[in-house]
Amino acid sequence: MYVAVIISLMTIATRATNNMVTTTVGPLAKYQFGFSNVQVGILTAVMYATTLFSTSYLNPVLVSTMRRKLFIASNGAIAILLLAFFVSSPILVWPISALAGLAFGLVMPNLITSASLVNDKRWAERLLSLYSASLSISLILGPAYESFLLTRFTYKYVFLAFIPLAVLAFILSWRVSFPNLSREVHGLSALRNKGLLASVLAITTYNVPFAAITTFLTILSIDRFRVPSDLAYFTFFPFFLTSFLTRFYMTVRPFKSLRTPMLVSVILTALGVGSVLVAPSYFVFLALMAVLGIPHGSVFPMATIMIQRATSKEERNAVNSYFLAYNNILFIVVPVAVGYLSQLMGLSLAFSILAVPVIASSVAFFSLFWRDQIMGGSSP
């Protein structure tokens, strides 16, 4: 129970801050610094590029004791960087974003690994669902808090207001468990693990559109439906509310078989993304975001469960790191691509086109893993 409380509180504090940074840097750059959509996409890509470096290169090769030290230091650095965003300029926002990405990349993989370290496999899957549910709680509270702040302040002040949460994360980081192993596996051995391939294909079905949603949802709401900035940021609320309810259900009643839940998630994602173009009003758009929140809630925990089922403790840190590194690649490529496409065809159509990679990755995933034991609940 102690482990569950620490993981939940730490995840809520860290992810609320992380989500605020990744979703607010874009509007800050566009509406206060005058960046174009392409520049916003590139700035977001820079942040995710440094996260990619820390998750794919630094975190997998470091021994557990050194990872713990950097984990704690990174949480402290995040609080300082929030203050730096507050005093930033069109030039300074670039290196500050890069450093923030680096710090977050040393935090998130270790939280996932910590959640899966218990020996009981069923309890480990429940903890992973609790971790995911805590992510969703943070993604409800964070946007609600930011929406309130934006009724009174500009985007810069939002960074300042999240410093207390970052400080809480720094305090809790000293209590997060790390594996006590003499040897851990990384490199090609981890890259060849079938759990990594399954999780990568599974998360592609959702994180392609989610990368665009994170960067451009607020901008799309303002530009298309002409809503004020505080209401535009509220668009995240129904999305993360249904995500949380899905993950809470998975915590209370974990899925043994992942086949039907994955199939339903893919169908909802393709339909939701494809419908963005034809949403006739802001309220219909909110309903679509609520629908898209369901697969957002289900796919990520299912992907981490696939990793847990297919890996040993010695492999898990590296596989989790490579899994998150792949997510960061998506968050580098997709915002730049959507930003560029939006210049050619508009943001709504650029969003709807994302249904194509969703369907393609879904076909590949189900072709390879529909009958695999990791989909049915067996563990090696």
> How far is residue 312's CA from residue 300's CA, in Å, rounded to a whole number?
20
Q: What are the pLDDT digits (tens) for 113-142?
A: 777 666 666 777 777 778 888 888 887 888
Collect all residues with Cβ–Cβ distance below 8 Å to 104 and sequence separation of at least 6. Answer: 18, 21, 51, 74, 78
Domain housing 135: 2-376
Interval 322-334 mean pLDDT: 84
Q: What are the pLDDT digits (tens) for 215-264?
A: 788 888 888 888 887 788 788 888 888 988 998 898 888 888 999 999 99
**What region, left, alpha or beta, does residue 322 occupy, with left being phi > 0 and alpha being psi -120 to 50 degrees?**
alpha
Burial 59-79, CB ≥16 within 10 A → b, else e? bbebeeeebbebbbebbbbbb
Output the CA torsion 35→344→362→272 (10° steps).
80
How many structural domains compose the chain? Answer: 1
What is 116-174 written as a DSSP string? T-SS-HHHHHHHHHHHHHHHHHHHHHHHHHHHHHHTTS-HHHHHHHTHHHHHHHHHHHT
- Say which CATH number the domain at 35 has: 1.20.1250.20
End-to-end CA distance of the chain: 26
> How far is residue 226's CA from residue 129's CA, in Å, rounded to a whole number?
37
- Map residue 155 onto helix, strand or coil: helix
Tell me, what's the pLDDT at 380? 42
Confidence of residue 379 (pLDDT cuts 50, 70, 90): very low
| Alpha helices, H only, 28-120 | 37-53, 59-61, 64-86, 93-105, 108-115
Nearest partner of 203 among 379, 323, 360, 359, judged by Cα: 323
Task: Report whether pLDDT(331) > 70.
Answer: yes
Interval 76-99 mean pLDDT: 95
Q: What are the pLDDT digits (tens) for 337-368?
A: 888 888 888 888 888 888 888 899 999 999 99
Please answer whether residues 194 and 306 qualify as being in contact, where contact means their C-beta atoms are separated by less than 8 angstroms: no
The three-state (H, E, C) secondary structure of 221-278, written as one string: HHHHHCCCHHHHHHCHHHHHHHHHHHHHHHHHCCCCCCHHHHHHHHHHHHHHHHHHHH
Please answer whether residues 46 and 98 qualify as being in contact, where contact means their C-beta atoms are separated by less than 8 angstroms: yes
The count of other CB atoms within 10 Å of the CB of residue 192 is 9
Nearest partner of 316 among 306, 326, 301, judged by Cα: 306
